[in-house]
Amino acid sequence: MTPGTCFKPTVAHEDNHTMPSKDPTLWAIVIAWLLEHGSAIYGALLALAIAFLRITYHGGRGKQRCIESLLCGLITLAVATGVRLLGLAEDATPFIGGMVGLLGVDTLRSAAERRIDARANQIND
């Protein structure tokens, strides 16, 4: 082995294989997607931040803060996909995110369970 052959510098070739992150059409697509779904993203980030701060304020730590914050953000994204089905404007998504973050996963789950139980009782009667 001759000295200097182990670490040969690579030479850039003039071909059409560019990195995807350098493709301007990729960034145009990403920006268009972000603009189209901005309120849902904003709502999810708002839910995540409010949940994180609420749990911190009440003395929560580490794993609890991270998991519940992420769950609140994901719940907001799930609701945001069906906001039209609920008869709400898409601009309401940040409000929904704020409420999800403020109420928290446990409160939302309890409310959903009560609603499902009440609906099941109506069907059985």
Residue 96 burial class via C-beta count within 10 angstroms: exposed 0-12, middle 13-18, buried 19 and up: buried
Tens-digit pLDDT profile for residues 10-40 = 555 455 566 666 778 888 898 998 898 899 9
Residue 88 included in any domain = yes
Residue 8 included in any domain = no
In the chain, the percentage of residues whose pLDDT exceeds 90 is: 53
Residue 31 included in any domain = no
Per-residue pLDDT of the chain (125 residues; tens, 9 = 90+): 555 555 555 555 455 566 666 778 888 898 998 898 899 999 999 999 999 999 999 998 889 999 999 999 999 999 998 888 989 998 899 999 999 999 999 999 999 999 999 998 888 87
Full domain range(s) for residue 61:
38-124
* Count of domains observed in the chain: 1
Residue 70 included in any domain = yes
Residue 20 included in any domain = no
Residue 117 included in any domain = yes
Residue 84 included in any domain = yes
